Structure 1
Amino acid sequence: MTRANLVKVVFIGVGLAGLSACASKPPPATQKQAPAASEPAAIPGGTYKVGSPYQINGVWYYPQVDYNYNQTGIASWYGPGFHTKVTANGEAYNENELTAAHQTLPMPSLVRVTNLENGRSIVVRINDRGPFVAGRIIDMSRRGAQLLGFDQKGTAKVRVEVLADESRAIAAAAMNATQVAGATVSDDGAPIPKAAPRPSVTVEGAPPPPSRPQSSPRTVTAPTTLAGSTTDDGRFMPAPVVEQKPLPPGPQRIYVQAGAFTVYDNANRLRARLNSISPTAISQAMVGDTQFFRVRVGPFDNVDRADQVLAQVLATGTNGARIIVD
């Protein structure tokens, strides 16, 4: 696709995606696949971090503050191979806590993850970067996968929704704790990134840190809307409360969404290029006052087939393609 064809391209989330349900298989403990590096020491309580754009295996990721994040996709989980290792924001990873890795959301953030296959829903703390396997949108801790009921399969169709007010609260506490402790918040992603081929992401909308006494730099005001507790090192950790959400009505299928365009001709050119891989269609959707033309390959009956097609689509240079459920 030429640069001209990419004018006004927007890869949209669950507002255009919808819901779904399906099956897959392990191995779960190798999903994150973060490149090895010299292991730093964990920082008690971690730090607040958004980070600059970073590149993993030829793919660029652009972290940003997004308190409207709400997407569907495929979740994986990671555990034994990463237990006690340092996360992207400096915490020590504990596979038995309710944490998760995300490619772009601020750390820490709180998100609700709902398994669209069985309706189980929990809240987890984002404290790491990943997953770096194509087609995955979140890497759950082992405990999170167990509570959602997909630790044996390895993957599940999920909806991931950021909890805006709660995330702002723990972000403010983490930023203040970092400043009081005299630590410097690293401006990189995780793993260690290279310089981005476009201007750095500007962190907007992040709340100013509240004034706190230096005598208690790790004191956290726990969100009153969530069950949870503050750990010894000052992190708010959600309680292992499983809510049962109603399953979405109608057929729930997996697609590879290659892109969403405001110009129909651009969408049609991409559709024609991908149609030889698998049946590709254009659907319309409104986001606010703007009409988008979504290019979707599929639907597919299972995650394995969607993974295969996603790899083929990415090989054509359509780097923004991702798996969605609808």
Structure 2
Amino acid sequence: MLMMLPRNRFALSGFHLLCALLVLMVGCSQQPAQKTPPTTGNEGRYKHDKDFGPDEDVDLSHVPDAVPRHEQRTRAGNKNPYTVLGKTYYLMEDETAYRERGHASWYGKKFNGYHTSNGELYDMYAMTAAHKTLPIPSYVRVTNLQNGKSVVVRVNDRGPFHDGRIIDLSYAAAQRIGIHKTGTGYVEVEIALPNDATPIPRRPQTQQGQVESVLPPGTFLQVGAFGSRQAAQDFANRLRAQLTIPVVVTSASQPREIHRVRVGPFKDAASLQQGRNQLARLKIFDAHVVYQQ
């Protein structure tokens, strides 16, 4: 009778060890899962070192100017004083005579969709702007002093906090006055008042102490713009029959043919207001100030 010998315990342990080694080798041959890098705190608009415009050229000439109107001014965006980059700024107590010349810049896609100083969302395709000391909201006319182009914008943000710059325009506004490609431009910024887009000029005192309100030479009110010269002349002739102030037609062929109907010129704020009153009797309320050399 044969006796059954017990299985070798060491051989069994060796088999298990071999299996364990095979599993380990298979596991090591697989690449570990890639981990998501931790956030650096430099997200959102601040992940971009520089600002930039649209990916492709966009014609924004159809975007209308901002229309000055009465708006309630809240504490949002009107903290006074406030400090940025170690410098303290104080808001204007009376902006009704504000007029200033300096360099304008623009901000675009880097800030598009982010909150402005008063909590609104910045829209680079709207007619808005940032200013350091004007109350929010305010309306100003910005004129490029190199080409005469102007636009009315609504101030709803703070900035620009760069030396030598007095206003930061939206991309649309910058395109309107022709500084979107150069980045900056020398401009005049003047207040535009609700129901009367005429900026109130500074009122210097004469030696006798009297206050005068002299307007710059060539100040006109523009009342219409036409693609047809004949249409502009017909409109001007109708106005001449009903106004006591001169009516002129100015024409330009670049960048496209346009014929502008203007009344004036006006020497001071009083005569300008008289002109507005005459236009109002004809139901013309949207005339705006232009300067013609």
TM-score, structure 1 normalization: 0.38
Q: Larger C-alpha radius of gyration, 1 or 2?
A: 2
TM-score, structure 2 normalization: 0.43
For CA contacts below 8 A with separation 6 or more, give which structure has more relative contact order. Answer: 1
